[in-house]
Structure 1
Amino acid sequence: MAAWILGVSGGIGSGKTAATDHFQTLGIDVIDADIVAREIVQIGESALADIAEHFGQNVLQADGTLNRAVLREIVFADPAQRKALEAITHPAIRQRLHEQCMAAQSPYAILASPLLWESGQAALTQRSLLIDASEATQLARASQRDGVSEAQIRAIMAAQWTREQRLAAADDVISNEGSVAELQQQINDIHQTYLAWQP
């Protein structure tokens, strides 16, 4: 089991995945809340059945899998529906994240989550690292990467904590306005600190 868990977060397009990918090359186990969130809505999982029951069969594809595009439209258009979805998914996600954190073997492990603080997942961690980028950088990266409209990116950003809230909550901050090499150098440096840190 890892000695302690580092929560890594950042808004959409901030470079959180590039950061956690580099931590993995340094031998650190990464538990990714986005991957777990997809796993808990696979066919046969109770969360998928609960989602279909609440939102109706139109959120399912013909093969029974989740129609993410339809569900995304519903929940980003209506905050009450987003809360309903979170009430179904967050407990299931949290339970699986906890299990995976307990199974981690590296000196410390990372729980990567875009909603680290909003979802209460920070309670599973002993320290937090924010991968920070300006709103303009976030918009540019996310639209380039995902090919979605600026309006949809802004809706996702609006559902997340503001940059100011994240900066206030984080124990450590890495600014990711530059190149991938600059990001990786900052990670190399902070990794040394983390190897020596005791919770």
Structure 2
Amino acid sequence: MRTTPFTLGLTGGIGSGKSTVAQMLATHGAAVIDADAISRSTTAAGGAAIPQILAQFGAAFVTADGALNREQMRLHVFSNPQAKAQLEAIVHPLVGQQIADQAQAHSAAGKACIVFDIPLLVESGHWRKRLQRVLVVDCSEATQVSRVTARSGLPADQVRHIMAAQASRSRRLAAADTVLCNDGMGLPALAEMVRQMAPQFGL
């Protein structure tokens, strides 16, 4: 008899190593649903959100190949804060439906654990009640800045600006059932920590 999969929410600030932990959980048999990747797909060329974006904002906000003109939208949102809510009202329901569809498919396939990799899990109040446990990947803010500047080339002040727009570290930790401290360790040590945690999540 097939059992219901364990539902694990995974989140962490930029540069925390959340995506790496998601990949490691997948090696232990978890199905990973990447909300960020789904969101990007809706606004990529031919994405499900493009017809509504075109209708709401106009042709200037869609590139020649049929994707969201991100630079144009960024400038528009900066000068018109209401535009962010308008864009989210288009994208979020589409993302939510795709997440639900993927979760149903993974459940039907008999996956023991479904990891919901949600960058805005803490900010989105509806996720907590849908999950059996929330795993927060944590590190110091200095580590976040150094990792992101190293991998992306962004200046440190820009990285701090991105961090300031996310839930605070203390707020993420307050929302956690389990915390994985990913500070000052290499990938082998991180992989061992994930291996030790995996049985808690039905893996």
TM-score using structure 1 length:
0.86
CA 1:159 to 1:87, structure 2 compared with 1: closer, same or farther past 3 Å? farther
Number of equivalent positions: 196
Which residue of structure 2 lines up, in the alignment, with residue 140 of structure 1?
146
Which residue of structure 2 lines up, in the alignment, with residue 187 of structure 1?
194
* Residue from 114, 117, 125 that aligns with 2:122: 117
How far does residue 112 in structure 1 lie from its aligned partner after superposition?
A: 0.3
Tell me the distance in 1 between the aligned counterparts of 2:118 and 2:37. Answer: 10
Mapping for residues 86-165 of structure 1, pairs under 5 Å: 86-104=88-106, 105-119=110-124, 120-165=126-171
| Structure 1 unpaired stretches of 5+ | none
Identity %: 38
Tell me the distance in 2 between the aligned counterparts of 1:115 and 1:21. Answer: 19
CA 1:59 to 1:123, structure 2 compared with 1: closer, same or farther past 3 Å? farther
TM-score using structure 2 length:
0.85
CA 1:8 to 1:62, structure 2 compared with 1: closer, same or farther past 3 Å? same
How far does residue 167 in structure 1 lie from its aligned partner after superposition?
A: 0.3
Q: Deviations over 1:115-152 (max 9, x none)?
A: 11213344432211000111111111112222233343
Residues 49, 91 of structure 2: 8 Å contact kept: yes
Mapping for residues 7-156 of structure 1, pairs under 5 Å: 7-75=9-77, 79-104=81-106, 105-119=110-124, 120-156=126-162
Q: Deviations over 1:21-65 (max 9, x none)?
A: 111111111010011111222344442222334344333222221
RMSD of aligned C-alpha atoms?
2.2
User: Secondary structure at the residue paired with 1:174?
Assistant: strand
CA 1:58 to 1:134, structure 2 compared with 1: closer, same or farther past 3 Å? farther
Residues 22, 184 of structure 1: 8 Å contact kept: yes
User: Secondary structure at the residue paired with 2:136?
Assistant: strand
Tell me the distance in 2 between the aligned counterparts of 1:28 and 1:152. Answer: 34
Which is worse superposed, 34-43 or 110-119? 34-43
Which residue of structure 2 lines up, in the alignment, with residue 176 of structure 1?
182
How far does residue 93 in structure 1 lie from its aligned partner after superposition?
A: 0.8
| Structure 2 unpaired stretches of 5+ | none
Which is worse superposed, 44-53 or 140-149? 44-53
CA 1:40 to 1:152, structure 2 compared with 1: closer, same or farther past 3 Å? same
Tell me the distance in 2 between the aligned counterparts of 1:77 and 1:147. Answer: 26
User: Secondary structure at the residue paired with 1:148?
Assistant: coil
User: Secondary structure at the residue paired with 1:65?
Assistant: coil
